[in-house]
Amino acid sequence: MPSDIAGALTGAVIGAGPAGLMAAEVMARAGLQVTVFDRMPSAGRKFLMAGRGGLNLTHSEPVEEFLKRYADASAWLGPAITAFSPDDVRTWADGHGEETFVGSSGRVFPKSFKASPLLRAWLRELSELGVVLETRKHWTGWGHDGALSFSDGSNINADVCVLALGGASWPRLGADGNWVSVLADKGIEVVPLVASNAGVNCNWSDMTIARHAGSPLKRIAATLAGRTVRGEAMISRSGLEGGAIYALSRELRHVLASSAHAELQLDLRPELDVGQLVAKFSKVSRKQSLTNRLRKAAGLSPQAISVWRDCVDWKNMDTDEALAHSLKTVVVKVTGLQPIDRAISSAGGIAASEVNENFMLTRLPGVFVCGEMLDWDAPTGGYLLQACFATGRAAGAGAAGFAHEQVKQSTA
């Protein structure tokens, strides 16, 4: 991709999300003239959406534990995340005027709990570095001469290119997955994009929906396929959402791929064992209603009781032991995941075998990829943004290094 600017090395970044902006920053600091293209009217739309929940930037747990959250992808994502670690993300945010703190769960947030101040400071810095942002530019692939092609008919040449087009979740914010067919036409293997960190579908009673849709189930534990996650969930009209559910997306997809439903087990009082619950029930008279016994003895909320009634054969329970056991083994029949356009993130993407250690596509020298375009999956909790930041930084450094090396070779 020859340069459009005489005497200057140029870099194009397709996608103005956190991965793309990070790549642009690194490339600009390495001396490249960088232009970022995005099909939306403004940059960082999904980043701003994440800010509505406080902007969970990363997580404070040790890197060794942190990397395990990426499962099979941890081996090839590891070097990038180690090179730009959670501590580095915090230092970077501090440098943009957004001091961070560690919450009680270990998650890291800016003290402002907002994304907009950080994004504004970041875009201002990029502008000062000479980075140009062009919006409403929908990339469609490459022309016959290797130039980047756009839907408005324009063609742009650049010495190197970083693709940061995201996955396919929340397409109205910019990432629609249309790039899959473009790369597939180049012979690049792309693992199908599927919903991750998504809510689940299950059939609640009319009463549960009418009275409790939008209500939380606090301090629960959810178990599937031998894995247990403690946290919270939210009752929706169609099923369950929330961190404890999202964290089991990988297991849910696996079970649902070969079965019509998955049996998700909820423990409504994970901090108490059966014996402790039995002792508590023994202190509340059986003459009281079952609802009152569950509320007074077990401390269940009205929404937890409603879910329990929907999922348990409670009418045939005649002992406190059976009642206690049922609270810890509530089986919710999950019939499917919410669609990808309602998921927080997507799994799948460009196969690890298609990129080198610098995230360059081996079939397309000079083209680098980062962020959710790559085939990795992670839960919420700071792991999504961390991987986007880290792979964006790695791809940007790889692109800059490749461009400078090409100059060296041409003048040798």
d(CA 358, CA 332): 43
- Separation of alpha carbons 352 and 307, rounded Å: 41
pLDDT digit string (tens) for 199-231?
999 999 999 999 999 999 999 999 999 999 999
**Phi, psi of 175, deg, nearest 5:** -95, 105
**pLDDT at position 149 over 50:** yes
Model pLDDT for residues 46-93, shown as the tens digit of each residue = 999 988 889 999 999 999 999 999 999 999 999 999 999 999 999 999
Average pLDDT on 271-284 reads 96
Residue 3 lies in a domain: no
- For residue 105, pLDDT beyond 80: yes
| Number of domains composing the chain | 2
- pLDDT higher than 70, residue 379: yes
**Could you tell me the pTM of the whole model?**
0.92
Confidence at 144, pLDDT banded by 50, 70, 90 = confident
Angle at 114 between CA 197 and CA 42, to 5 degrees: 80
Could you report the per-residue pLDDT of 170-180, keeping only the tens digit for each?
899 999 999 99
Residues 137, 213: one domain?
no
Tokens standing for residue 390: 């880290």
* Residue 43, in any domain of the structure: yes
Alpha-carbon span 258 to 384, nearest angstrom: 27
394 with 406, same domain: the answer is yes
Domain that holds residue 265: 200-337
Cα separation, 152 vs 138, in Å, equals: 8
Q: Do 172 and 217 fall within a single domain?
A: no
Predicted confidence band of residue 8 (pLDDT cuts 50, 70, 90): confident
Residue 2 in domain: no
Determine the pLDDT at residue 4. Answer: 44
pLDDT given for residue 7 in this prediction: 52
- Same-domain pairing of 187 and 207: no
Assess whether 64 and 178 both reside in one domain. Answer: yes
Is 5 a residue whose pLDDT tops 70? no
- The pLDDT assigned to 294 comes to 96
Q: In this structure, is residue 88 part of a structural domain?
A: yes
| Each residue's pLDDT tens digit, 311-350 | 999 988 889 999 999 999 999 999 999 999 999 999 999 9
User: Is 388 inside a domain boundary?
Assistant: yes
Boundary residue ending a domain (284, 310, 337) = 337
Q: What is the pLDDT of residue 182?
A: 97
Looking at the structure, do residues 159 and 239 belong to the same domain, yes or no?
A: no
Q: Reply yes or no on whether the pLDDT at 1 is more than 70.
A: no
Position 249 scores a pLDDT of 94
Last residue of a domain, one of 295, 315, 337: 337
- Say if residue 217 is in the same domain as residue 70: no
What is the per-residue DSSP string for 183-242?
HHTTT--EEEEEEES--EE----HHHHHHHTT-EEEEEEEEETTEEEEEEEEE-SSEEES
Helix, strand, coil % in the chain, rounded to nearest 5: 40, 20, 40
Question: From residue 357, how far is each of 28, 387, 389 by CA, in Å?
Answer: 21, 15, 16
Choose the final residue of a domain: 337, 361, 391: 337
pLDDT tens for each residue of 23-40: 999 999 999 999 999 999
pLDDT of residue 2: 43
Q: Which H or E run contains 161?
A: strand 160-163
Which CATH number does the domain housing residue 187 bear? 3.50.50.60
Q: What is the mean pLDDT of residues 154-170?
A: 96
Share of the chain above pLDDT 70, in %: 98
Same domain, 43 and 78: yes
* Nearest in space to 156 (alpha carbons), one of 143, 165, 168: 143
How far is residue 138's CA from residue 153's CA, in Å, rounded to a whole number? 10
